[in-house]
A and B are shown apart, each in its own frame.
Chain A
Amino acid sequence: MLSSIFSSLFTMNFLLTAIRLATPILFASIAAFITASAGIVNIAVESIMTFGALAGILGSYATGSAWLGLMIGLVVGVGVALLIAFFSMKLGADPILIGIALNTFADSLAIFFLYLVTGEKGTSASLHTPTLSKVTIPFIEKIPFFGKILSGQYVLTYVCWILLIILFIMLYKTPLGMRLRACGLNSDAAKTAGINVRRIQIFSLILSGFFAALGGMYLSLNSIHLFSKGMVSGQGWMGIAANGISGGRYGTLLLSAFIFAVFRAFSIIFSQSTIFPVDLVGAVPYFAVFFFVTISSILNYLRIKRGNVEEK
């Protein structure tokens, strides 16, 4: 039994599962990364994903179009981000506290709205909601090995890949990206160079809300086809953890997010067997996050102790 599980780890299916599970974590990680790069903290990624996931489904139900639902979800995600910007920059509240507040009531508020519309508190399964599908790319699907990876993914996975590339170019090749990173690295330097730091930070929050909402909607509109209570289940936090590990390096960010997805894939495969308790197996991805964050902190500590402090 155990050997059959292990053999299933090294199959195409396992890789495909990991890629499928990576999309929302990748969205969450860039949502955290973009604000961190601009020098503000957005720990509300998890709750924006929840709001986005619900708004997408309800929007799709109300308009009868998955794409319009997607737009509505994005508006809600960006709206929540703007709310954070308003509270933290205009009213001077601590962005961490705002994030805690949002994360605390996100689940309950989502269920409240779900109940208003469906009369149910668990899932949106009773609603007829159009959803987004998988995309098969002709010709490419025929390529051995890569065909299966490059074709047949969910729409929002492709959107994710394209956005990852665009974000990279934006951050590292354009004046806007350079200014954004400058704000995060030394806001005084940015200010004296004539950059409007506050405006850049608001912009980064908007992008963050946009990405996080997409991450949430990948779950509801695209892969699971309904909204259910607690469906984000810490994937927003995994994105934040990936950002923490990255230390500002884009490649490390994406790699960390993908590794977390691999552990989620592990836990799904192991949960199909009866060898280990399901609850324990379900906790594996979270242990992985704990483990990698600890390792990265220890490495950082050792670097500082050795005196090789990187100046940011």
Chain B
Amino acid sequence: MAETILKLEQVTKVYPNGTVANRDINMEFEKGEIHSIVGENGAGKSTLMKMIFGIEAPSSGTITYKGQETHFSSSMDAIKAGIGMVHQHFMLIPSFSIVDNIILGDEPKKGIFINKKEATKKTQELSDKYGFELDVTALVSTLSVAKRQKVEILKTLYRDAELIILDEPTSVLTPQETEQLFVQLRSFKEQGHTILFISHKLEEVKKISDRISVIRNGISKGTYRNDELTMEQLTSLIIGRDLDNDMDKYKTHENFENKKALVVDDLYMEMNGKPVLNHVSFAVKKGEILGVAGVEGNGQGDLVNCITGLEKTKYTGTITINGTEASSLSIKQRRDLKMAYIPEDRMGDGTAGKLPITDNIISTYYEREDINHKLFMNHPAIDLVSDNLIRTFAVKTDSNKTTVGSLSGGNIQKVVVAREYNTKPEFMIAEQPTHGIDIGSAEFVHHKLIELRNAGAGILLVSADLNEVIDLADRLIVMFDGEIAGYFPDANHIDESSLGMYMLGAKKQTAEEIGGALND
């Protein structure tokens, strides 16, 4: 039995407003292991980490680090004790050099000045020692995301961290970069560091962990050796039941006479002299989901902006929504053509965080006669609409006056989906509809999309999550570098790895094959 470095006993966190984030958590972490903590969004992982790192104090229970009970009053204490944390949102200053970012808060000195020479030497040695291949004098603003993450890790190593907490480290990385990160994590482990890995990507957790602890609803559901746990067991531990992945059986196949909800014809747009949409043509039929797959930033965002009307820059080509040429229409006019939109950025574009659910849930159809009496709003009717939607969409909230910003990510997304669903759209754009929300809510959103599809709406589903696109879509296009690189008329029979080739630009179909996206 290896030495225990960190031990949590009966740790409970109750926030002043009464929310119980963690209850009676018991966990032990061994020196030199890679220990994953998994759980849905809002399960209490982050709160637990904040308590270990000294940002929050537990309401009751004890945290023992290296055999001593700790009461960190700030993260400074945790850092001094040898705990480092790589936050999900990087804590870096882009206009500072790598060296300055690393030494910040613990600067080597010469008299009253910063000893730049020694700082540079020390950090460069550290970077070389761990094989990070960084030029430490470079500005952080010039670095890729993966390299910035390395800087974050270096920061913890510079402060001699023995226990390193990584909060969702792979969410910003490509598969190759993730692979590289894992190699490094394993080498840290060999050098005696303990890694606490937080993630909701289960494949990665299975790949990297020695042991896995599961949290559900703030309660620990046990710690398991990785090799004694199958993926299915892990999933059911996390969500408390078996997940239903097969969406196909919910689809009905009525005949909508091949009517088109959306036709995009020869769309072309330039930005900074470079084409970001290069003669894109496709159609979404009524009663189908057309999936758009692709690595983020290959024109999907611009495509969505053109269709919704958010993009004001000149583009050429036509966009026809439910039979009406719409490329010169305003957003409002397009919505009047029974278009609905679930935006990717639910906080920025999807909702107004400081306003209550009632306001957010009617914001795209507040002019409807039943809720708008010309001069004043009809508040009883709004309450009725909101309460109905809150119930049918199972939004977890005390009242319809709760501000949207204080809901969890999954519930915010449910508010957005409920609103868009309630406009009874005939054409819907769903952009990353389940990005970053918990599995339960994601499943719910998927079912609602299928429901709309079965009722005859055409849905354009843009997502970077391959599984989501493959599970939901009837037909599929792959975008690469502003073009459609591949078209798959039957999304149910796609080989994921060959899809990957199209996503990375290694393969491209002929114009004739791609033409099917428009003409099928």
Contact = CB atoms under 8 A, between A and B. Distances in A.
Interface of A: 173-175, 178-179, 182, 185-186, 188-195, 306-307, 310-312
Contacts of A173: 113-114
Interface residues of B, number: 28
B141 A193 contact: no
Contacts of B113: 173-174
27 contacts: A173-B113, A173-B114, A178-B107, A178-B114, A182-B104, A185-B94, A185-B95, A186-B93, A188-B91, A189-B91, A189-B104, A192-B75, A192-B85, A192-B91, A193-B91, A193-B104, A194-B75, A194-B76, A194-B105, A194-B106, A195-B104, A195-B105, A310-B95, A311-B94, A311-B141, A312-B93, A312-B95
Contact of B93 (A174, A185, A306, A310): A185
The B interface, classified by DSSP as helix, strand, loop or mixed, is loop
A174 B112 contact: yes
Interface in B76-107: 76, 79, 85, 87, 89-96, 100-101, 104-107
Given A189-B104, A191-B75, A307-B272, 17 more contacts: A174-B113, A175-B109, A178-B100, A178-B107, A179-B105, A182-B96, A185-B95, A185-B96, A186-B91, A188-B89, A192-B75, A192-B85, A192-B91, A193-B91, A194-B75, A194-B76, A310-B141
B174 interface: no
Nearest to A191: B75
Interface string B111-123: 0111000000000
B74 interface: yes
A175 B85 contact: no
Contact of B114 (A175, A193, A195, A311): A175
A174 B272 contact: no
Contacts of B85: 192
A251 to B, nearest CB: 15
Nearest to B85: A192
Contacts, number: 63
Contacts of A179: 104-105
Contacts of A178: 100, 104, 107, 114
Contact of A193 (B90, B95, B105, B271): B105
A264 B112 CA distance: 39
Contacts of B272: 306-307
A170 to B, nearest CB: 9
A179 B106 CA distance: 10
A10 B104 CA distance: 48
B389 to A, nearest CB: 35
A196 to B, nearest CB: 8
B138 to A, nearest CB: 13
Nearest to A307: B272
A188 B85 CA distance: 13
B317 to A, nearest CB: 23
A124 B267 CA distance: 74
A189 B76 contact: no
Nearest to A248: B95
A104 B90 CA distance: 41
A194 B74 contact: yes
